[in-house]
Homo-oligomer: A and B are copies of this chain.
Amino acid sequence: MKKGAKISNAVIRRLPRYRRYLGELQKKGVDKISSSEFSKLIGYTASQIRQDLNNFGGFGQQGYGYNVKDLYGEISGILGLKNKYKLVIVGAGNLGHAITNYIGNFRSGFAVEGIFEVNRDMIGRDLNGVPILNNDEMVEFIEHHKIDIGIICTGEESAQEVADKLCFAGVKGIWNFAPVDLELPGHVAVENVHLSDSLYSLVYHINKKDNIITQ
């Protein structure tokens, strides 16, 4: 990849999708795929695919297409999925529970080390083997275990305060499920999962099925 090249967020967001489809192809025993076949499968234009992958040096061969396994590996490398990450979850409610299970089902690379909670009835228990700990111990725990990512599964009211603590303790990224846009220092990456934004987009499309929507 060209050092310092500007890669748009839109491209980054498509990479996990490419990887997901390439993973499926591998499972089905497919060795290679042309950009036009890949285009049909994934629903982006062939030129979009070529353009996206050119950001990172191409990978395709004229008249051959893409080697599925190699491209999967390359994208995994670009995304940083060949490294391992330590996570904590803040909030042991249903969402925290669901996310703990969800990450537990990943094959490798992501480990939830602890779940932090204010409700004293839950502290000391565990979720699928992950200890539920007192919120007050969060900073020390993150520093000691060198946690990479904090996942916010609390309500809206406490999300910013939790984010401040996570940043102070030294996480590199925050995966935020609370319906607020957090204020964070520039060196901490953030991904928001705003579920209501997604639901409202769906509702728009339900109502506007008669209009032409472009991608």
Contacts and interface: CB of A to CB of B under 8 A. Distances in A.
- Closest 4 A/B residue pairs (Cβ): A189-B205, A80-B207, A94-B98, A16-B197
B209 A16 contact: no
Interface string A179-215: 1010000010111011111111111111111011111
A30 interface: no
B85 A94 contact: no
Report which residue of A187, A206, A211, A214 has the largest number of chain B beta carbons within 10 angstroms of its beta carbon.
A206
Given A194-B17, A209-B187, A78 B204 contact: yes
B199 A5 contact: no
A15 B80 CA distance: 31
Q: How large is the interface on A (under 10, 10 to 19, 20 to 34, 35 or more residues)?
A: 35 or more
20 contacts: A4-B211, A6-B214, A7-B214, A8-B213, A8-B214, A8-B215, A9-B201, A12-B213, A13-B201, A79-B200, A79-B204, A80-B208, A83-B203, A94-B101, A98-B98, A99-B195, A148-B206, A175-B198, A175-B199, A189-B205
A194 B193 CA distance: 10
Interface of A: 3-9, 12-13, 15-17, 19-20, 43, 78-81, 83, 85, 93-95, 97-99, 101-102, 106, 110, 148-149, 172-175, 179, 181, 187, 189-191, 193-209, 211-215
A199 B111 CA distance: 13
A205 B78 CA distance: 10
A8 B81 CA distance: 31
Say how many copies of this protein the assembly contains: 2
A9 to B, nearest CB: 5
Contacts of A175: 198-199, 202
Given A83-B207, A173-B205, A202-B175, A214 B94 contact: no
